[in-house]
Structure 1
Amino acid sequence: MYQYYKGLIIREGTSGVPAEQVKKLFEEAGWVRNVPNWQMEKFSLIFQNSAWAFTVWSGEEMVGMVRVISDKIMAGNIMDLVVQKQWQGKGVGRKLVSLCVAKLPHGDWFAHTSADNYDFYKQCGFEVKDLNEHGTCAYYGYIQAKNAGDRL
């Protein structure tokens, strides 16, 4: 799947994601540094072992990504949601979360993240269940379905 969003291209898929592009995003986010060459393959393997993934592209440069660990029936965990600083605040992260939730709209979604991101996930419809420095944000699809009248 390809779709256009504010001049960017969003691709869905768990194969063929370039390890160097993932590493670059992780470095900018401060998640990794000084990665030895022999560990580069892990940046592609994380996608191959994910249920769903979306990458965001500006030309040949990956400017955002998210991957999901899920049973594809009842629950999904948002992993590694990251957007380049210059694209933050422009709706790209929210778009990625909405694409994830659409995969399992009546399922339970979780995002383990730092306290700095709680407000972002609240804007995406998640609840903050743990107010520690690192907690879990949860989106209960079955509650959303019940509130919308789609489920008794």
Structure 2
Amino acid sequence: MYQYFNGLIIREGTEGVPAHSVEALFKDAGWSRNIPAWQKEKFSLIFTNSTWAFTVWDQNEMIGMVRVISDKIMAANIMDLVVLSNYRGRGIGKKLVQLCVGKLPHGDWFAHTSANNFKFYEMCGFEVKDLKENGTCAYYGYIKARKQGHR
């Protein structure tokens, strides 16, 4: 599936995500440095066992991504949500979270993240569950479903 968002293309899928593009995003975010060549395959292998994934493209450059681990019924965890620093502040991250939650709208969503991302997840409808240096942000779809009369 492809869709357009503010002149960018969002691709859904866990296959064919280039390792070098993921590595570039991780380096830009400060998540990795000095990765030995034999370990670089992990940047594409992380998608193999992911349940869902979305990547964002500006022409031929991957500028954002998110992957999800889920049982597809009750719960899901947002993993590795990252947008290239030059593209931040344009609503791309929020759009990625919306796409994720849309896959399991009445499920429970979690994002373990650092405190500097708490406000972002709150803007996406999550609750911050732990106000330490790192914590879990949660989106309880079943509460929303109850309010809407689905459960």
With normalisation by structure 2, the TM-score equals: 0.98
Instruction: Give the corresponding residue for 2:96.
Output: 96
Instruction: Give the corresponding residue for 1:27.
Output: 27
SS in 2 for 1:48: coil
Structure 1 residues 51-107: Cα deviation after superposition (integer angstroms, max 9, x where no partner): 000000000000000000001111000000000111111100000000000000000
Q: Kindly indicate whether residue 118 of structure 2 is the aligned counterpart of residue 118 of structure 1.
A: yes
Instruction: Give the corresponding residue for 1:78.
Output: 78
Letter in 2 for 1:112: H
Q: Distance in 1 between matches of 2:125 and 2:82?
A: 18
Deviation of 1:149 (Å): 3.0
Q: Distance in 1 between matches of 2:74 and 2:62?
A: 30
The percentage of aligned residue pairs carrying the same residue is 72
Deviation of 1:146 (Å): 1.5
Letter in 2 for 1:123: M
Question: How is 1:1-152 mapped onto 2 (pairs within 5 angstroms)?
Answer: 1-151=1-151
| Aligned-CA RMSD value | 0.6
Q: Distance in 2 between matches of 1:126 and 1:146?
A: 17
Deviation of 1:148 (Å): 2.6
Deviation of 1:7 (Å): 0.3
Deviation of 1:150 (Å): 3.0
Query: What 5-or-longer segments of structure 1 have no aligned partner?
Result: none
With normalisation by structure 1, the TM-score equals: 0.98
State the 4+ residue runs in structure 1 displaced beyond 6 angstroms.
Answer: none
Deviation of 1:15 (Å): 0.7
SS in 2 for 1:23: helix
Q: Distance in 2 between matches of 1:86 and 1:145?
A: 36
Letter in 1 for 2:38: W
Letter in 2 for 1:76: A
Query: What 5-or-longer segments of structure 2 have no aligned partner?
Result: none
Letter in 2 for 1:8: L
Structure 1 residues 24-57: Cα deviation after superposition (integer angstroms, max 9, x where no partner): 0000000000111101110000001100000000
Deviation of 1:145 (Å): 1.2
